[in-house]
Amino acid sequence: KIINFSPGPSKLPEEVVAKVQEELINYQGTGISIMEMSHRSPEFMQIVTNAQKEIQQLLNIPANYSILFMVGGGTGQFAAVPLNLMHSGGKAVYLNTGIWSSKAAKEASKYGHVVEIKPDLETSSEIKWDLDPDVSYFYYCSNETVQGVELPCIPDTHGIPLVADMSSNILTKDFDITKFSLVFAGAQKNIGPAGITLVIIRSDLLGTPSPFCPTILNYTVMAKENSLHNTPACFSLYVMALVFKWITQQGGVKVMEQRSASKSQMIYEVVDNSNGFYSCPVPASVRSRVTIPFRIQQGNEELEKEFVDEAKRLNMIQLKGHRSVGGIRASLYNAVTVEEVAILVNFMKDFMKSKLQ
């Protein structure tokens, strides 16, 4: 059996895959597949409504928020956020904690003035910034998938609308949605296949998009038309709805959070007790629970390649670190089980032992 540690698109819950297989060519007695069904059909509209209800309950989303399903992935949102929220000739603050927030800031700077701040992750996870009431929003990435940096707390923006890219840690941890004006997440890590993006936006932020905002990225249009202005990514949305239901059946976000804490602790324990054989480049206070990068002998590329190859031979795939940082990365999203992580942990111990003999 393959154990998939991919950073995304990543493993889907086995129960969800089984359900998709069961319904693939005949969705609930309709005689056709979801892939062949009109997005205006009552069956598909029901899927959209169910997905909204399920995520609304999972995250305890109040009625003054709109839940949208959009296309264009996280990268699409890098443009959608400023095009919808940055007032003309406006300004926004971007917290730069790694590759994804940096890409978002670069995209936003096409549309307005971006003030980038870089927190010192080494000394403090507390974010200090000069409060400027003129900024349209404060943006951050709650989990930097490549660097493995996850902020443990929600930044206090003193009333300035807070926007978060939660692509790689949404539904792995309970959080208070009312602290946010907008949250978005590409589905392909924790909530489904690629092609669909979840956007949760406080309704008072709707209604003032830039005149240049493409309709496809326009939150106001999408909210008014219940995400069905045009043809959505039907199949991806259907699978995402199944993933939401699966999380509910497993016990909700709190259970995902407990599992996430256990799984990540298992890996960090081996790293921290390896006498430097393994090392994690991220300061302990901001270590991610979901995307864990580590090095072998401070970056011995030969040994790291051997580790990845040997793991693959044992059916553990996608452990190679991102090309920009190298090393190893274990992505432990919701569908990856504690048992699968235990197999990886045993392999890490065995590998170390064999090299230290």
Binding mask 153-172 for ligand PLP (x = CB under 6 A): ------------x-xx----
Q: How far apart are CA 168 and CA 144, in angstroms?
A: 8
Residues designated as active site: 100, 165, 189
Give the nearest distance from C-beta 7 to ligand PLP in angstroms: 7
Q: What are phi and psi of 36, to 5 degrees?
A: -110, 5
Distance in Å, CB of 353 to ligand PLP, minimum: 33
**Of residues 157, 195, 156, the one with CA closest to residue 70:** 195
- 74 is a site residue for ligand PLP (CB under 6 A): yes
Structure tokens at 30: 């309709």
| Residues that contact ligand PLP, how many (by CB under 6 A) | 11
Mask 297-336, x = binds ligand PLP (CB under 6 A)?
A: ----------------------------------------
Q: Crossing angle, helix 73-85 and helix 99-108, to 10 degrees?
A: 40
For the bound state, the minimum distance from the C-beta of residue 74 to ligand PLP, rounded and expressed in Å, comes to 3
Q: Which is nearer to ligand PLP, 77 or 157 (CB)?
A: 77
Check if the beta carbon of residue 323 is closer than 8 Å to that of residue 304: no
Instruction: At 179, list the tokens.
Output: 């602290």
Task: Choose between 10 and 210: whose C-beta lies nearer to ligand PLP.
Answer: 10
Residue 8 interacting with ligand PLP (CB under 6 A): yes
Does position 102 bind ligand PLP by CB under 6 A?
no
Q: Look up residue 207 and give its two tokens.
A: 């209604």
In degrees and rounded to multiples of 5, residue 316 shows phi and psi of -105, 110
Interaction of residue 69 with ligand PLP, rule CB under 6 A:
no
Judged by CB, which is closer to ligand PLP: 74, or 293? 74
Beta strands, E only, 176-302: 182-186, 197-202, 278-279, 291-296
CA–CA distance, 238 with 64 (Å, rounded to integer): 25
What is the nearest approach in angstroms of ligand PLP to the Cβ of residue 78? 7
Q: Which residues bind ligand PLP (CB under 6 A)?
A: 8, 73-75, 100, 141, 145, 165, 167-168, 186
